[in-house]
Amino acid sequence: MAPSHKSRKRRATRPRRGAAARSKHNKTKPLGKKNSARRQSEIFVDPAAQQQLKLYEEAVRYFQQQKLHKAKQALLKVQSGPSKELADRAVVHVRICEQRISRPPTPVLRTAEDHYHHGVAMMNLGLWDEARDHLMRARKSAPKAEYVYYAMAALDCLTGEADAALENLKMAIELRPENRYHARNDEDFAYLQEDPRFTELLYPERDLSAN
């Protein structure tokens, strides 16, 4: 007789290795660097953050193009965005914009008169080297301009260069004799008051009367 079903032995079932391995991998893992980076990227995708970044890039372009007023307006909007790093950068750039906006524009100097007027302005500020540079440029462009020689003579006196002052003043008087009378009452030539050459140059009539 065939054995009944009850007498048959059942084989014990063993778990498959693949299934066991998969179950291990499916366990919940703690948050690591990758998950943290994923969270940060999700935050950065925030529309407000994207708008802030767009405004910042726009402000930088304006800044590089020297459109300082537009750059400042965009940077002020960046400061109210969610990214603290961009907001801090915007604060620094706003200060730079304000400093540059407050500066007087650099004049464009083309003619001899432009350099002359700028040189005289630098003299009044006590910037001797810059004043001399512009007066020399004016003299090069207009070698017969008596007023340039007169200004250079005054500058030479202010810097204690007597020989150069007398030479430039002599040329200014030769080109325009009226400069002799202006120099007599000009305080810029006080350095030469005790120099006999200065007296001879300004008061030639004294030599004639003496002879």
Closest by CA position to 93, among listed 114, 79, 107, 108: 79
Provide the percentage of residues in the chain whose pLDDT is more than 70.
74
Helix, strand or coil for residue 6?
A: helix
Domain limits, the chain: 39-102, 112-206
**CATH number for the segment(s) 112-206:** 1.25.40.10
Residue with tokens 């407050």: 102
pLDDT tens, residue by residue, 115-139: 999 999 999 889 999 999 999 999 9
pTM of this structure: 0.51
Query: Quick check: 122 and 134 in contact, CB under 8 A?
Result: yes
Is pLDDT of 209 > 60?
Answer: no
pLDDT computed for residue 190 by the predictor: 92
Query: What is the band of 75 on the pLDDT scale with cuts at 50, 70, 90?
Result: very high
pLDDT computed for residue 31 by the predictor: 44
pLDDT tens, residue by residue, 87-117: 999 999 899 889 888 876 667 889 999 999 9
